[in-house]
Each structure stands twice: as structure tokens, then as C-alpha cells.
């Protein structure tokens, strides 16, 4: 049995207007992301990832705030508190309104906001 708390993460990655807190257990990584009002993936994480869009697949529970997600094909959705989203690679996202977005992600944060090997 393993028990960990997201308030004592194994790793924290900070970037402008946001951060992720990672807990590693059972061979996987679970993360809590917090995005402040004004945060947008293409503005604040794209320069780190060096990819045209977010290539991380996300399976996440939305704790607070509203996140607007736009897929590369133009499909868009606002996702809010209490909702669960499954977002494949190839998207942009940003905070809607003045409330920070907090999500718990069970899949896509292992390499999130890390330098990509893609040039």
C-alpha cells in the first residue's frame, strides 16, 4: 500500500501563471495543476514544450475554475468544476474568467512543462 498527499508532492514544476505538483506511485504519475487567470497553454507552456500544440493526453478531474479547451480540429469545450475530461493530444487551453483552474490529472502530466526533444 502507498499513500501520498498532493500537498507534499514529489516534484513541482512552475511556469508563468501556473504550476503542477506531481506525486509518483505505483509506476504512474498523478498531478495537480493550478492555472491562474490569464494562463494559456500556447503562451505559457508552448515555449517550454516546443511543440505547436499540447501533445499530452489528459484524463482529469476539474476541481475549480473553467478551462476552455480547443482541439487542433477546432472542436472546443468549456470544462468546469466537478466534470471529468479526456483530452487527446493536439490541443490548446486557457483559463476562462477570474477564478484559478485546478485539475487533478491521472494521465498527462508526466512530461508536462518539460523541454521536449522535438526541435
Domains of the chain, each with CATH number or no CATH: 11-105 (2.60.120.10)
Q: What is the pLDDT of residues 44-68, one digit of tens each?
A: 999 999 999 999 999 999 999 999 9
The reported pTM is 0.91
| Partners of 91 in the β-ladder | 54, 71
How confident is residue 75, by pLDDT bands cut at 50, 70 and 90? Answer: very high
Phi/psi for 5 (5° steps) reads -125, 135
For the cut 80, the answer to whether the pLDDT of residue 96 exceeds it is yes
The beta-strand segments (E) located in the chain are 11-15, 18-25, 28-35, 58-64, 66-71, 76-79, 84-87, 91-96, 101-105
| Partners of 24 in the β-ladder | 29
Maximum alpha-carbon separation in the chain: 43
For the cut 90, the answer to whether the pLDDT of residue 70 exceeds it is yes
Amino acid at each position: 500500500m502507498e499513500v501520498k498527499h498532493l500537498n507534499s508532492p514529489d516534484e513541482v514544476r512552475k511556469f508563468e501563471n501556473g504550476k503542477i505538483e506531481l506525486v509518483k506511485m505505483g509506476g504512474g504519475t498523478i498531478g495537480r495543476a493550478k492555472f491562474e487567470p490569464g494562463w494559456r497553454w500556447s503562451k505559457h507552456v508552448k515555449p517550454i514544450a516546443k511543440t505547436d500544440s499540447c501533445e499530452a493526453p489528459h484524463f482529469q478531474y476539474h476541481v475549480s475554475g473553467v478551462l476552455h479547451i480547443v482541439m487542433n480540429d477546432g472542436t472546443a469545450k468549456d470544462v468546469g468544476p466537478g466534470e471529468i475530461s479526456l483530452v487527446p493530444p493536439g490541443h490548446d487551453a486557457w483559463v476562462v474568467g477570474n477564478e484559478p483552474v485546478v485539475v487533478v490529472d491521472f494521465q498527462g502530466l508526466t512530461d508536462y512543462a518539460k523541454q521536449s526533444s522535438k526541435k
